[in-house]
Amino acid sequence: MESHRILKESQIMKIHYVTGIAAIFVVAVHILMRLIVPFELSLEYDYIISNYKNIFYVLILESILVLVSVHGFNGIRIILLELRQSKAWENMITVVTISAMIALIAYGTRTIILANGL
């Protein structure tokens, strides 16, 4: 219906379902990684930094960051979209959620790179 759109809603929702389901697996690995050592130890500074040095774990962290950001902010967009029906509101929601998504991914990626490169 909207002529200016880049993605159809069905394409956005495809991304939403794929990121949501993929997130289940990476989040599960993330939680399991913390359960294989005593809980106290999992919060130790040295242990966390050593995790950041493990390239496989870093890839999992980065994919959690991207998947959950894309999925989560689109989820918030969906929830907010339904509240009001006006073009101005919809455009504002789209811009705000996409900006926040990009900002969070950028900031998280920076943290991962810094911790890995210490």
Which residues sit at the interface with other proteins, rule CB under 8 A? 1-2, 5, 8-10, 12-14, 17, 78, 81-83, 85, 90
**Cα–Cα distance, 27 to 67 (Å, whole number):** 10
Residues 6+ apart with CB under 8 A from 93: 77, 80, 81
Question: Could you tell me the smallest distance in angstroms from the CB atom of residue 13 to other proteins?
Answer: 5
> Does 108 help bind ligand HEM (rule: CB under 6 A)?
no
Nearest residue (CB) to other proteins, 22 versus 115 = 22
> Taking CB under 6 A as the criterion, which residues in 6-65 touch ligand HEM?
17, 20-21, 23-24, 27
How distant, in Å, are the alpha carbons of 33, 76, 98, 114, 117 from that of 24? 14, 18, 22, 26, 28
Residue 81 interacting entry, from ligand HEM, other proteins, none, C-beta within 5 to 8 Å by type: other proteins
